Amino acid sequence: MKSSLQDVEPTDRPTGVVGAAPAGATDQQTAARAVQEMFGAIAPRYDLLNHVLSMNVDRLWWWRTTRKFDAILKNPAERVLDLCCGTGEMAFALERQAQGNAKIVGADFAHPMLFRAAAKSAKRGKVLSWIEADALQLPFAGESFGLVTSAFGFRNLADYDAGLWEILRVLRPGGECGILECSEPEGVFGKVYGFYFRQVLPKIGTALSGVQGPYSYLPASVERFPKPPEMLERMRAAGFREATWTPYTFGIASLYWGKK
């Protein structure tokens, strides 16, 4: 199932600044700092928790996303940026699909996460680049990449529109972006999943990580994230010529695709 910009009604046009809002944050700066501290705290068990809480379906989501960008990844002259890369799992999936062709760069502003990504990369003998950087102020020249991806990190930006503008800035003309994010299913399945997501998942995440807060923030951040029609409209308003939305696994996750 896909949805395109043509499906968005004029009344759904975005207004105002929308971004992550962890408990206690009073502005964009404190929101960003809270997110940075949260993900730094759970870095040691982040991969295990992702696999356990998604029942390993996250691996399928990464694989499906990389398949969509196969032509770009197989181009040896292409550069690819994985934004909010965390411990690097999406970057590694991109590298596997690229088969030694496109150059993969991972960027994140949580140092403990990036440290683990670099350590895993060295252990696996993978030639990837890791950059500590804020997604809203990337240290790259304009039109530097043919593809920008983000897996379950874009939702944590303090300003979603600013994040889209920055992605557009570093993409070359004709370049593409893929934002893989958590989403909320609808219908009967949505109600069952909603109970797990809001009542069960936070308790499991807190118990396994030993850290209070981050896994209560997760369902709140997904609820706050723009629904697909609004997200597509924000992509168009940012300057993407084309944009589509593809739900994964009954709508538990979603891939937003855009082209410059």
CA-to-CA distance for 13 and 150, rounded, in angstroms? 23
pLDDT(7) > 60: no
Rounded Cα gap, residues 19 and 102, in angstroms: 31
Contact present, 232 and 246 (Cβ < 8 Å): no
Cα→Cα distances 127→61, 65, 132, Å: 23, 21, 17
pLDDT of residue 5 exceeding 80: no
Residues facing residue 257 across a β-bridge: 178, 244
Given a cut of 60, whether residue 11 has pLDDT beyond it is no
Closest to 236 measured CA to CA, from 218, 258, 215, 214 = 258
pLDDT confidence of residue 8: 37
Tens of pLDDT, residues 135-163: 999 999 999 999 999 999 999 999 999 99
The sign of the torsion formed by the CA atoms of 17, 23, 29, 35 equals negative
Q: How far apart are CA 78 and CA 143, in angstroms?
A: 12
The 253-259 sheet, strands edge to edge: 3-4, 242-248, 253-259, 171-182, 145-151, 79-83, 103-108, 129-132
Tokens 């891939």 locate to: 255
**Helix, strand, coil tally for the chain in percent (to 5):** 50, 20, 30
**Helix (H/G/I), strand (E/B), else coil: 102:** coil
Q: Which CATH number fits domain 21-259: 3.40.50.300, 3.30.750.24, 3.40.50.150, 1.10.10.10?
A: 3.40.50.150
Average pLDDT, rounded, for the chain: 90
Distance CA 219, CA 207 (A): 16
d(CA 132, CA 217): 23
Closest CA to 238 of 226, 247, 250, 249: 226
Give the C-alpha distances (Å, rounded to integers) separating 240 from 24, 68, 169, 232, 259. 33, 18, 11, 9, 6
**Which DSSP string do the residues of 130-164 spell out, in sequence order?**
EEE--TTS-SS-TT-EEEEEEES-GGG-S-HHHHH
3 state DSSP class of 10: helix
| 123-126-127-128 Cα dihedral, nearest 10 degrees | -90
Phi, psi of 72 (to 5 degrees): -65, -45
Under the banding of pLDDT at 50, 70 and 90, the label for residue 12 is very low
Residue pointed to by tokens 């004029």: 10
pLDDT digits (tens, 9 = 90+) for 217-231: 888 999 999 999 999
Confidence band of 20 (pLDDT split at 50, 70, 90):
confident
The pTM assigned to this predicted structure is 0.90
